[in-house]
Amino acid sequence: MTPLQKQGWAGLALLLLIPAWVLAASNTTFIEHPMIVVRELPPFLANPETWSNIGITLARVAAGLALGVVAGFVAAFVMTRSRFLGEVLGYYVTAALRTPSAIAAILALAIFKGSETGYALVVAFITFPYMAVGLRDGLANADRDLDEMSQVYHLGLLAQIRHVWAPYVAPFIFAALRNAHALAWKVIVVAEIFGAAKTGFGAKFEHAWSYMLMTEVHLWLLVFMVIVLFAEYGLIRQAEKFVFRWR
């Protein structure tokens, strides 16, 4: 199947959601008709407050995801280089994997009193174990002969990362990054709602839902889905294609 055909099938799958939306709107009282939502979309997007709240949530996701990626890199490197530290860190990674997002959000926001630090840290805490496990598996599958050769020829750390480890761990990095990215968006909404945030996507969604402003609820959900899909397919997938273009 060619890339154009794949895009065509993907577009058809999205179009099939429209009749399902119309059917749901005609049989429920809390789902607005698509035409109503589309009619309200231009003024919603033209409102500067919409983009300021989207930007706030984007900044929280970016900061938390960056911290989670860095922490995952460090943890994976340590776990593969030291058996003792690997076992110790393994307990923390497993605990982080098993911690529900809602519990982590409540604890982080309670400790940091709903500050921006709390939002970033809860995203980092939830996403870092996925990066750590993915990178650990990638480093564990690396060619040990090449690793030993790099040490014999006294390659620097950056040269080892570029020429020895990166080719092996790149597929694992992108697989882990996709999981961490998707989870980051989920947990930030939970954190904003539980943290009683005044700004951000979760705060505005909670406000609209509490007052049963269903058109506004649909608008926020629609914009949220578009942003997440753009980040996944427009940024991460394109970066992955660029990195693996040599294939």
Report the 3 state secondary structure along 12-80.
HHHHCHHHHHHHHHHHCCCCCCHHHHHHHHHHHHHCHHHHHHHHHHHHHHHHHHHHHHHHHHHHHHHHH
The predicted-structure confidence for 16-41, as pLDDT tens digits, reads as follows: 778 888 888 888 777 888 888 889 99
pLDDT tier at 3 (50, 70, 90 boundaries)? low
Spatial distance between the Cα atoms of 71 and 102, rounded to a whole number of angstroms: 21
pLDDT tier at 49 (50, 70, 90 boundaries)? very high
- pLDDT value at position 190? 84
Q: In the chain, what percentage of residues exceed pLDDT 70? A: 91
Q: Distance of alpha carbon 26 from its chain centroid, rounded?
A: 33
Residue 175 lies in a domain: yes
Residue 184 lies in a domain: yes
- Best CA proximity match to 22, nearest among 32, 12, 30: 32
Residue 8 lies in a domain: no
Give the CATH number, domain containing residue 232. Answer: 1.10.3720.10
Which residues touch 120 (CB under 8 Å, ≥6 apart)?
60, 63, 64, 67
What is the extent of the structural domain holding 174?
60-243
pTM assigned to the model = 0.82
Residue 31 lies in a domain: no
> How many separate domains does the chain show?
1
**Phi/psi of residue 121, nearest 5 degrees:** -70, -35
Q: Helices 116-140 and 101-111: crossing angle, nearest 10°? A: 130
